[in-house]
Structure 1
Amino acid sequence: MSAPVSIGLIGAGIMGERMLRAILAQSPELVRAAGIWDPSGEALARIASELPDVAQKPDAAAVIAASDCVYIASPPASHLGHARAALAAGRTVFCEKPLAIDVADSRAFVAEAGVRGAVNFPFASSPAVAQLQDWAGGVGGNRRISIEVAFATWPRSWQADAAGWLDRREQGGFTREVVSHFLFLSRRLGGVLRGLQASVSFPEEGKSERRIEARLMAGDIPVTLIGSVGTTPKDDHNIWMLEGEGGAIRLCDWSLAEQRKPDGSWQRAPDALTQLEARPVALKRQLEGVARLARGEAHQLATLEEALNVQEIVEAILAS
């Protein structure tokens, strides 16, 4: 049996802690936590209080030195600095999206990294997405995809601690943070994203976008996209739908796969899981993919090329 893959974590915010807990929940024969670092002493103190057995490292370099694979969950502007340092040390990289805030830098990084990196788009390991893939053959021809997202406020209530960057135009906004996941899903199921036409609204000075509309192609499938803030009482509303001449399938609220019946009503997958139920399943599958990535084996994770394609579309929407 292969030795467990040692994963070091850079970033102890919401995503860093979530991934750390997921690592600790896996079999120690699969993965182990090599240690964590964050420039925020407050964040590390929280981790020390709740997970005292996890090694805390003095800096990012120490995390990299202790790891087989480095998970990067710091703010986007710092992603590629850490990723390049990890690759230079011979490690693999598992990065939060987006790869960077500069598309040209992301393109250069993808050319440098080859197959030694992947990006954390959990739809790559989602049980609901697997169900959609099983159903997709019945949708028939003349396909089209629609994406709808809406939020009561931005950032969402549980992200308030990260509002300093999540609600700024430079690194934040719901298009980068949420819409990117559904663009990845369209890319994975449809093909390369291209042919964008879009509009965006920034009504509040210095703040992130509040509305977007876009049309594009995923392979040969047309995609329509709409996103807005303040248009729903829900913290987070989202629907991704694939329609064709033979029927329609959709993903609701991140994890609920549904199939349209002949009478127009929607039937949910019998084993559908809520987002809270599905998250640990997807995280386990993601970490299995990370272990394969670190060993140089084939994996299902979002590739750097897929993530770059998504980022190119996201940034083009925000620049429109």
Structure 2
Amino acid sequence: MPAPIALGIIGFGIMGERLLRAALDHASEHVTVTGVWDPAQSAGARLAAIASAVPMLDGAAAVIEACECLYVAAPPAAHIPLAEQALAAGRAVFLEKPLATDLAAARAFVARFGDARVAVNFPMASSPAVAQLTAWRAGMNAQSLEIEVGFATWPRGWQRDAAGWLAHRAEGGFTREVVSHFLFLTRRQLGPLALIDAAAEYPPGDGSETLIRARLTAGGVPVTLSGGVGTTDKDDHNTWTLDHAIRLRDWSFAERRGADGAWRQAEDAVPNERLRPLVLRGQLAGVATMTRGEAHPLATLREALEVQEIVEAILAR
């Protein structure tokens, strides 16, 4: 087996920490974390408590210098500038979504680097639950898709520390953070996305959206999309339902409808908290192969841009 690739992390919030833990506990044969940087004063103490052998370096340049692939988990405005720095230094890049909140900047970046060693972190690319849906879908002639997402509050309870940007219109909101994952899944399963119409509602001020509705097509298949804050008492509830026959529920439960109309889980279905390490292990295996210039299952820049085009069009309505 090839040696693990050297992975650097910029941004040590929720996603940076999750990927570090996955690298340490589940994917050490694929990646070795060689350095982290986050400007928050609390980040160094958290890193030391989790992985004392991984250094908190003194800036983005130091992390890029120390790695073969850079994972960018900073807020969206920093994604493209950091990726460009890493690519200029000859590094591969693994980006959080969205590419940017400025569509012109995202388009220019993809036009320039669409064939570079860059991938985007849509974890459904490595989800065993999605693999089960794909197996069930074999032979189906898809006729309709329904996507529903709901939240008790936004940001979700575990995202409070990132509310400074997640709660605001400029970079945050659940459409960019959550709906984008299901649009990526839809693109992978059914084909190119095209928006027909949409509406979004916002609170007074600069707060992020509280409600969206949209109609689109994916590979010609009609898709309805709805999402809202305060529509459930759960932190996060979602369903992706194809032809009222198979669905993904709450990120991790692949289910199909029996002859009696009842939904039944796949035998190996587990809650998202237990599935996430397996998914991130798959993502990091893909990061290693992508860094070596080999074929990988991760989301490409062009797929991420297509998703982002739809997301920003919905939010603009």
TM-score by length of 1: 0.96
Gaps of at least 5 residues in structure 1 are none
Contact kept, 8 Å, 1:196 with 1:313, in 2: the verdict is no
Q: Is 1:39 aligned with 2:36?
A: no
Alignment of 1:179-258 (within 5 A): 179-243=179-243, 248-258=245-255
Q: For residues 181-203 of structure 1, give each alpha carbon's deviation from its aligned partner in whole angstroms, at most 9, with x where no partner exists.
A: 00100011011111331000002
Alpha-carbon distance between aligned partners in 2 of 1:154 and 1:70, rounded to the nearest angstrom: 29
CA distance in 2, matches of 1:15, 1:73: 6
Shift of 1:13: 0.4
Is 1:319 equivalent to 2:316 in the alignment?
yes
Cα distance in 2 for partners of 1:34, 1:19 equals 13
Equivalent residues of 2:195, 2:310 under 8 A apart: no
Q: Structure 1 residue 6 and structure 2 residue 32: aligned?
A: no
Query: Which whole-Å CA distance do the structure 1 matches of 2:54 and 2:266 have between them?
Result: 38
State the AA in 2 paired with 1:297: E
Q: Aligned Cα RMSD in Å?
A: 1.1
Q: Helix, strand or coil for the counterpart of 1:55? A: coil
Give the AA of the match of 1:119.
Answer: V
* Superimposed CA distance per residue, residues 236-288 of structure 1 (whole angstroms, 9 cap, x where no aligned partner): 11000111xxx610000000000111221111101111101110000000000
1:310 aligns with 2:311: no
Q: 1:153 to 1:59 in 2, by over 3 A?
A: same
Query: What's the CA shift string for 1:142-181, capped at 9, x where partnerless?
Result: 5211100011100011111111100000000000010010
In structure 1, the partner of 2:117 is: 116
Q: Secondary structure at the match of 2:138?
A: helix
2:279 is equivalent to residue 282 of structure 1: yes
- Give 1:115 shift: 3.5
- The answer to whether the 8 Å contact 2:26/2:277 transfers is no
Distance 1:100 1:134, change over 3 A: same
Q: Is the 8 A contact 2:27 2:285 kept in 1?
A: no
In 1, the alpha carbon distance for the partners of 2:142 and 2:300 equals 28
Q: 1:158 to 1:261 in 2, by over 3 A?
A: same
Corresponding residue for 1:25?
25
Residue type of the partner of 2:72? I
Provide closer, same or farther for how the CA distance between residues 233 and 104 of structure 1 changes in structure 2, counting only shifts above 3 A: same
Structure 2 SS opposite 1:93: strand
How far off its partner does 1:26 sit? 3.6
Report the CA distance shift for 1:220/1:66 in structure 2 as closer, same or farther (over 3 A). Answer: same
- Distance across 2 between alignment mates of 1:75 and 1:166: 9
Q: Which residue identity lines up with residue 289 of structure 1 in the other structure?
A: G
Unaligned stretches of 5+ residues in structure 2? none
Question: Residue in 1 aligned with 2:158?
Answer: 158
Q: Identity rate of aligned residues, in percent?
A: 59
SS of the aligned residue for 2:245 comes to: strand
Between the aligned partners of 1:6 and 1:73, the Cα distance in structure 2 is 16
Q: Distance in 1 between matches of 2:138 and 2:198?
A: 30
Distance in 1 (CA, whole Å) between partners of 2:85 and 2:28 is 26
Aligned residue identity for 1:36:
V
Give, in angstroms, the shift of residue 106 of structure 1. 0.8
**What is aligned with 2:75?**
75
Given that 1:8 and 1:36 are in contact with CA atoms closer than 8 Å, whether structure 2 keeps it comes out as: yes
Q: 2:256, 2:264 within 8 Å by CA — same for their partners in 1?
A: yes
Q: 1:27 to 1:236 in 2, by over 3 A?
A: closer
Matching of residue 125 in structure 1 with residue 126 in structure 2: yes
User: Which whole-Å deviations, capped at 9, do the CAs of 1:212-248 have from their partners, x for residues lacking one?
Assistant: 00001111111100000011111111000111xxx61
Task: Give 1:36-115 correspondences, 5 Å limit.
Answer: 36-113=36-113, 114-115=115-116
1:42-97 deviation digits (Å, cap 9, x = unpaired): 12222123321111111001101111110000000100000000000001100000
Tell me the SS of whatever aligns to 2:279.
Answer: helix
Instruction: Output the amino acid matched with 1:24.
Output: L
Contact 1:201 1:210 in 2 (8 A): yes
Report the Cα distance in structure 2 between the residues aligned to 1:16 and 1:30, rounded to whole angstroms. 17
Residue 27 of structure 1: how far off its partner (Å): 5.0
SS in 2 for 1:195: strand
